[in-house]
Amino acid sequence: MGVIPLTEAPSIHPSFPPSLLAGSSEGLTEVFAALGEAIDAVRAAARPTGPIPAGAPADVLLSAAQALGPARLPAEGLGGKAALQLLATTLTEHGIDLSHPRAAAHLQPPSLAVAVAADALASATNASLDTYDSGPSAIAVERWLIGVLIDLAGLGKRADGVLTPGGSLSNLLGLLLARDAAALRRGLNARQDGVAALPGPVVFCSELAHFSVQRACAALGLGEAAVHPVPTDERRRMRPEALAAALAALTPDQTPLAVVATAGTTDFGSIDPLPQIAEIAADRGIWMHVDAAYGFGALFSERLAGRLAGLELADSVTLDLHKIGWQPAATSVLLVSDTSAFTALDREVAYLNPTDDSEAGYDGLLGRSLQTTRRPDAVKAAATFLTHGRTGMGRMVEICHDLARYAEHRILEEPELELVAPVELTTVVFRYRGGDPADSDRLNGALRRRLLESGSALIGRTEVRSGGPGSPQRVCLKFTLLNPTATADDIDGLVDAVLDAGRACVRLTEESAA
């Protein structure tokens, strides 16, 4: 390698003060001082009266963009105080307030205060999990958190896990491990040679499984057509006998890679019969992945934990602590029953984990993830668990479940509302009946948009098949209740807001028809 030496030393600008960098003690002091100033700006901002700003979407987005100014990098900065105050004001006045008791649209909870504070500390260190010398304490915290979650899931001594950027990525990683395990059983190396040599790959899942299963199969080169949906029963759970029949119908030129069971469907919170599915998968030697992104949090509650019986039989499990866990996004985890499953991800890179360093103990978590640089998301979850313990976490889960049951009761009492499914976890799916059944889909969609534009309530929508196979999908409304500070009065207010909006939409329809 030819190196051209400098003929003279370069001139260097004067250094910035130590307070510029968050990792220094001066910088940490500056971080929390700046956060205090941002909080002052939040207090002074014109916070929306509801969970979301009132107005048409285009107007709200334009207003937020105008507050930030022209979309170009300024020649001179505003300074930290002014920049944070501007952003804090913009986020508050034009953003969502998940702590509002009428924020009930998605599996997107308000973050716990201790988790946000811990996340700021984690960001200040800017540690990474790939190598020992990128963040030893962060590695220790993640290993501790994984151990806690393994114990909660009952997965056993050989289990392992890793944090990921989200549930969709956890499902992708779980199916990647399943794919490679299936290939190895056939004497193939999918990582090295690709999937072309793997004949007719098939992945089974409930017809109500999350769409990330299809996305994962597309990304893994299997194709979305590899996903074979299995029918569900009246409680919207995968039917084990239908799974067994589908497996029995496979031809010799098809390769079953995995059965994906769902523990907490997005709309209904329904939990597939895990013990029966595990038995069927084990009899055929097929990987069982459980997407418990939503439902895993039920394990915090002694009252609800039994609903996840059989989870300990899984080969891999997805869980999202940014759902029932109240963590800032993203805090997802993939657990595996046997640490050797991660062998397919092993990499030796000269500048990261050379063999002699690894043998000497200077190793990180590069071989458990598809990522290289990986932020210490475990810190916020560890702070939460250490603060609240299982009792505190379980109480939050049970409050949200009780709120959902109360909403179910209230909906059943209202003649204008129709409950679509009984409550399982913390979601409630229902419809506004209206006057004309033929117009009900349009009416339910218009009702939700009316609430959104008014800013008074934030609820979800979905589509549900109203009868058997082939019956039409009907537009439905949904409460997703993840605020442990909400009360029965708040639920009453939410239901009343739906009724008021529905009646207003009916009046507008009648007036336009007159």
DSSP of 337-387 = S-GGGGGGG----TTT--HHHHHTT---SGGG-S-SS---THHHHHHHHHH
**Prediction pTM value:** 0.94
Contact (CB, 8 A) for 426 and 324: yes
Dihedral sign (CA 358, 362, 366, 368): positive
CA dihedral 477, 304, 376, 134 (to 10 degrees): -140
Q: In the prediction, which pLDDT does 16 show?
A: 85
User: For residue 66, what are the CA distances in angstroms to 41, 59, 63, 69?
Assistant: 18, 10, 5, 5
440-454 and 488-513 are packed helices; what angle lies between their axes, rounded to 10 degrees? 120
The residues pairing with 334 across neighbouring beta strands, listed in sequence order, are 162, 318
Altogether, the residues listed in the chain come to a count of: 514
Q: In the prediction, which pLDDT does 115 show?
A: 96
Q: In the prediction, which pLDDT does 1 show?
A: 61
Q: 504 — phi, psi (to 5°)?
A: -65, -40
Q: In the prediction, which pLDDT does 178 show?
A: 97
b vs e for 395-426, b when ≥16 Cβ sit within 10 Å of the residue's Cβ? ebbbbbbbbbbbbbebbeebeebbbbbebbbb
Contact (CB, 8 A) for 194 and 370: no
Q: In the prediction, which pLDDT does 261 show?
A: 98
What single letter denotes the amino acid at residue 406? Y
Distance CA 377, CA 169 (A): 15
CA angle 106, 107, 113 (to 5 degrees): 110
Helices (H) and strands (E) in the chain, counts: 14, 12
Phi-psi region of 96 (alpha: psi -120 to 50; beta: other; left: phi over 0): beta
User: For residue 74, what are the CA distances in angstroms to 20, 62, 68, 79?
Assistant: 19, 20, 11, 11
The pLDDT tens digits of the residues spanning 179-234 come to: 999 998 888 888 888 888 788 999 999 999 999 999 999 999 999 999 999 999 99
25-44 and 113-125 are packed helices; what angle lies between their axes, rounded to 10 degrees? 140
Structure tokens at 461: 């929508």
- The gap between the terminal CA atoms of the chain, to the nearest Å, is 85
For 425-457, the three-class secondary structure string (H helix, E strand, C coil) is CCEEEEEECCCCHHHHHHHHHHHHHHHHHHCCC
b vs e for 378-387, b when ≥16 Cβ sit within 10 Å of the residue's Cβ? bbbbbbbbee
Q: Which of 36, 22, 51, 269 is nearest to 124 (CA)?
A: 22
Q: Which of 301, 294, 268 is nearest to 109 (CA)?
A: 294
Distance CA 231, CA 241 (A): 10
For 73-85, the three-class secondary structure string (H helix, E strand, C coil) is CCCCCCCHHHHHH
Contact (CB, 8 A) for 105 and 330: no
113-125 and 378-413 are packed helices; what angle lies between their axes, rounded to 10 degrees? 150
Contact (CB, 8 A) for 341 and 181: yes
Distance CA 87, CA 253 (A): 57
What residues of the chain score a pLDDT lower than 70?
A: 1-2, 6, 468-469
Q: Most distant CA pair in the chain: distance in Å?
A: 89
Strands 458-465 and 473-480: antiparallel
